Amino acid sequence: MTANENVLERSLGALMGITYRKMTNVLQTRLKDYEITTEQWSVLFQVDQTEGLIQKEIAELAGKDKPTTTRILDHLEEKGLICRKMAENDRRSFQVHSTEKGASLIMETLPVEMQVNQEIKQCMTVEEHEMIMKLLLRINHHVSQLS
């Protein structure tokens, strides 16, 4: 192990980033046959779970910036997985809805995502999982306050 590797292992952000990328790669491999990326899947999931969201709300829920969210929504719309409708109360924004095809894709792929989560959780006890979730939520909230 080099000195740089040791420093990265001790950096919370770096370790969380590396772990996130590894977990995402596992899910991406499993979603490949469905022709959807993990980024697209996470946005489609948010849209499917809460119909009629506007782009800003989707970006916040998915943890993405607005330009990235717009790009993802454009791809999802091209694939026929979502549709945008002008918001009734604000004609400057669009509400996003999943199509039948989008809802069907989520129903088909949600078990895949859940299976990946189960496989990842195998390396820890129930108590450890509860603790890491609690800590990550606390860190997430704290970091949100810093920006």
Q: How far is it, in rounded angstroms, from Cα 69 to Cα 78? A: 14
Q: What pLDDT, in 10s, does the model give residues 94-132?
A: 899 999 999 999 999 999 999 999 999 999 999 999 999
Q: How far is it, in rounded angstroms, from Cα 94 to Cα 52? A: 8
CATH for 62: 1.10.10.10
* Residue found by looking up tokens 């849209």 in the block: 47
Q: What pLDDT, in 10s, does the model give residues 20-39?
A: 999 999 999 999 999 999 99
Average pLDDT over residues 78-87: 93
Q: Indicate the number of domains in the chain.
A: 1
Interaxial angle between packed helices 100-121 and 38-49, expressed in degrees from 0 to 180 and rounded to the nearest 10: 110
The model carries a pTM of 0.85
Q: How far is it, in rounded angstroms, from Cα 65 to Cα 118? A: 28
Structural domain for 87, as ranges: 3-146
Angle at 135 between CA 130 and CA 141, to 5 degrees: 125
